[in-house]
Amino acid sequence: MKKLFLILMAGLLVGPSVMAQQLEELTFEKAIQLGLDNNFEVKIAINEVELAELDRSLGQSLLLPTLGATYVGSYRNEDVEQRFLNDPAPRILDGAQTYNRNFTLATIYGFNPEAFVALRRLGKLTEVSELEAKVVIENTVASISSSYYRMVLELQRYKVLRKALELSDERLDIARAQYEFGRASKRDFLAAQVDYNADLASLVTQEQVIENTRINLNQLLAVDPEHQYMVNDTITIADDIQLVDLIENAYTDNKQFLATQRMENVAYLQLREARALRLPYLTINGSYNNSILTSDAGFVLENRVDGLTAGATVGINLFSGFSVNRRIQSARVQQYNQQHVLQQYEIQMKSDIYRSYNVYTNTKRLLDIERKNYEVAIENSDIALERFRLGITGYLEFRDAQVNRLQAESRLIEAIYNIKESEIELMRLAGKIYFQNPQERLN
């Protein structure tokens, strides 16, 4: 891909107050990597995927039989008095003992048609969870990208304001010298002092903006707000982004669009699951039983049982108070709603792409204009400074040229940032924003 490199400044630091320090360099790629490793929203999204996987595993248990084993043992010691029809004399047993030991191994398998559909639905929900996690990752990358380049922008603005302050300081020295030698009035000297103070106040205010921007970036990276670093000084802009490619990629790679498609499939499977309640169901059961009963009293002194038991049940729901009908109707309405949601998001996605692309193309046109205007403003400022030094022009003309230069530089760097901001949004909408393969992070 052909790239247009716009060098903003060299040796940009996070804050002007730490320019003399040797700081760690934070490249754009390192910032993205650090954010994806530390950002809590990303961690939560990945954990949500694991929960969805557990739900799908739990759903798979519906297709498996259940197996249980029980062992029961009991002992009784009783005094027993018994009378029988053929023997009128009572039979008295003191301390009659009874032992009962029973072991049972039972299994049940229930075949419900809706369980198979439910398992497919849980699989689609897992896919939705993975896509939503990727949406969180992409949004995090986009936020980090914007914040990182915002830092570069604010530092460039600081450089512009510092240059303006240097010009004001030079003008103040000239005005002071002219006033002392009687070549200018005190009013001109005081005006130069006022302009210098105004430029100094702007520089101090910009330091606060830089500090807040750094804190915002640190928050996205999930690092300490006081953490300091040096950022890259280059913004790389792609100059071959085509609208038709963005639309095509959005239909295949936009994670939110794909998740919405999966939710339409989920709604369809919910309808099939409700309809499956009208189908017959089958339950198969089997057991193995081993039982031993010994008793000192009674007709049976010992009873042993060892064998298998098997059975099956076939049933069908004939009437359930119209609850199945209501569930089917509700699922059908939900399916229609999800179709509308998909259509609505498709229109929104395309509209967002068209809007962002329009900003992108127009800002690139403005960049060419602002670059030429910046060159003119620099030349005009240099001429005005020289004329002011020679006493040919007044302070108003020089200040006007200085302000024009400041505004031209500000508009130029703002145009560069706006292009990058639009590019980030376009890549996000097209599902092509830069980050490590999310599937690797979700595994």
Residue 437 has pLDDT above 80, yes or no: no
Residue 177, pLDDT score = 81
| For the chain, percent of residues with pLDDT exceeding 90 | 26
Tens of pLDDT along 47-56?
988 888 888 7
Average pLDDT over residues 179-185: 72
Residue 171 zone, left/alpha/beta (φ > 0; ψ -120 to 50; rest): alpha
Residue 147, pLDDT score = 92
Residue 3 has pLDDT above 70, yes or no: no
Residue 17, pLDDT score = 46
Residue 356 has pLDDT above 80, yes or no: yes
| For the chain, percent of residues with pLDDT exceeding 70 | 87
Residue 79 has pLDDT above 80, yes or no: no
pLDDT-wise least confident of 231-245, 279-293, 397-411, 426-440: 426-440
Distance CA 120, CA 266 (A): 9
Residue 296, pLDDT score = 67
> Which residues does residue 304 pair with via DSSP β-bridges, in sequence order?
292
Residue 434, pLDDT score = 61
Residue 84 has pLDDT above 50, yes or no: yes
Tens of pLDDT along 231-245?
876 777 877 789 999
Retrieve residue 176's tokens.
């002071």
Average pLDDT over residues 387-409: 78
Task: For domain 26-64+113-279+322-442, give the fold.
Answer: Outer membrane efflux proteins (OEP) (1.20.1600)
Tens of pLDDT along 296-333?
666 667 778 788 888 888 888 887 778 888 988 998 99
Average pLDDT over residues 175-198: 80
What's the half-sphere exposure (Cβ side, CA atoms, 13 Å) at 369?
8
